[in-house]
Amino acid sequence: MSGRNKSSDDSRYYFDWLEFAAADLLAAKVLSENTGCSALAAFHCQQAIEKALKGYTLFKTGRLVDGHNLPWLCRNAARCDSAFEEWLDESAAMARLYIETRYPSDRQQTFTAERLRAILKMAEDMYNFICESVYGKESMRDI
């Protein structure tokens, strides 16, 4: 995976990526209230972390990275701050949701209320960690 080509229309502002990540988390929460939308809620959790990791990397390096591979994005962030290494397992668990929630499968995908709550908590915890890494703990009260 490489940096975005210069003709990409994607934002070059890290705070845009974090704002869109926050919107994905909100969408996940709203969708989680309807049991028929559990897979969509889980997908938005994955999207939130993907965008937040891209925003963090952009903040630290000034370079917008491409791709959907959360462990790769997390390892990329860990190059800037080794504390991200603690999120590698979570990023791998969230990465599975990218495909699992978007395409039909012959294998039954189950998103119980308990599993979805765990996914939402993981996404919120990761998002908050990323925002604290960017804005600092004191600034988090204003977000």
Band (138; pLDDT cuts 50, 70, 90): low
Among left, alpha and beta (phi > 0; psi -120 to 50; other), residue 94 is alpha
CA 47/CA 52 separation, integer angstroms:
8
Q: Where are the domains of the chain?
A: 20-142
CA 26/CA 37 separation, integer angstroms:
14
The share of the chain scoring above pLDDT 90, in percent, equals 73
What tokens appear for 92 in the block? Answer: 């791998």
Task: Tell which CATH architecture fits domain 20-142.
Answer: Up-down Bundle (1.20)
CA 119-52-68 angle, to 5 degrees, is 80
User: What pLDDT score was predicted for residue 122?
Assistant: 96
> pTM score, two decimals?
0.89
CA 22/CA 89 separation, integer angstroms:
21
Q: What letter does residue 96 receive in the DSSP assignment?
A: H
Indicate whether 46 pLDDT > 90.
Answer: yes
Task: Give the 3-state secondary structure of residue 65.
Answer: strand
